[in-house]
């Protein structure tokens, strides 16, 4: 198990009271509750950041994708015209 480091944090009495309520409900100590809360926060924040990066990437690529789609549409039309021409021969 990795070594643990002790930290000191300041939280409101109301928040501490909520943490203490969970320690009773879950039969765990404060450190475990706070440790899990930090892990959960970090995981969720990483997901949010990834989604933001993906949105940014899609928005940056949108004009390029639109151009490619437009060019493909023109090519598809040309292929259909060529096919119809060949069928009529």
Per-residue pLDDT reduced to its tens digit, 18-77 = 999 999 999 999 999 999 999 999 999 999 999 999 999 999 999 998 888 787 777 777
Predicted local confidence at residue 73, as pLDDT:
74
For residue 2, being part of any structural domain is answered with no
Q: Does the pTM of the predicted model rise above 0.75?
A: no
Predicted local confidence at residue 48, as pLDDT:
98
Contact 22, 35 (CB under 8 A): no
Domain count, the chain: 1
For residue 72, being part of any structural domain is answered with yes
Residue 1 has pLDDT above 70, yes or no: no
Q: What's the sign of the alpha-carbon dihedral 14, 17, 21, 27?
A: positive
For residue 7, being part of any structural domain is answered with no
For residue 8, being part of any structural domain is answered with no
pLDDT tens-digit readout, 16-35:
999 999 999 999 999 999 99
* Torsion angle in degrees (nearest 10) through CA of 80, 81, 83, 85: 160
């Amino acid at each position: 198990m990795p070594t643990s480091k002790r930290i000191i944090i300041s939280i409101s009495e109301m928040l501490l009271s909520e943490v203490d309520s969970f320690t009773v409900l879950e039969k765990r100590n404060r450190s475990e509750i706070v440790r899990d809360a930090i892990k959960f926060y970090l995981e969720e924040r990483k997901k949010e950041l990834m989604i933001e990066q993906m949105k940014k990437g899609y928005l940056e690529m949108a004009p390029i994708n639109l151009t490619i789609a437009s060019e493909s549409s023109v090519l598809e039309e040309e292929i259909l015209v060529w096919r119809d021409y060949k069928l009529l021969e």
